[in-house]
Amino acid sequence: MEPIKLQTPLTIEDTAKLRAGQTCLLNGIIYTARDSAHKRLVEMLDKGEKLPFDPQGQLIYYVGPCPAPPGRVIGSAGPTTSTRMDVYTPAMLAAGVRGVIGKGDRSQEVIQALMQYKAVYLAAIGGAGALIAKSIVQAEVVAFPDLGPEAVHRLLVKDMPAVVVIDSLGQNFYTLGRAEYSKR
């Protein structure tokens, strides 16, 4: 099956079509944020402050990219473990974020929030940071530069590969995959 090409920002109609297990190629703007950045972003939301980017329809990639080597826009950009962002994810989805990208399982609270806000959880391939970086054609820090590589970056991506792990219906590819494997 051919990967689904997605252009950001995503709409509810875009995410409603996605199903657990499908592969995607992401195009457009995505934002990066890890633990410390998420903490600050959610604190801003709690105070009623405007975020440093418009979250409507956006994807947040859980990555702290490495510095760019000569001739590149960014260094290795592999995903980090998503569970560390579970405490912040429902608030970010409520603010309009349409999807998140990381690796590993998510909590039941996050799955419920994905369903409530018609959002998706995508996985990037862990250990493939150098390959993923080739999909990033532009990168700039847009918030919290004091966090170094964990600052919020605005990335322009072209055909960045990802897999739908949890779709907007709550179907979980990790669970489905394990069940299918058990049948064999």
Q: Six-digit token pair at 109?
A: 């609270």
Q: Quick one: tokens of 167?
A: 């779709």
Which DSSP letter does residue 61 get? E
Q: Can you list the positions of beta strands (E) in the chain?
A: 4-7, 23-32, 59-61, 99-102, 120-123, 136-143, 152-166
Q: Which two tokens stand for residue 35?
A: 């633990």
- Known catalytic residues are 38
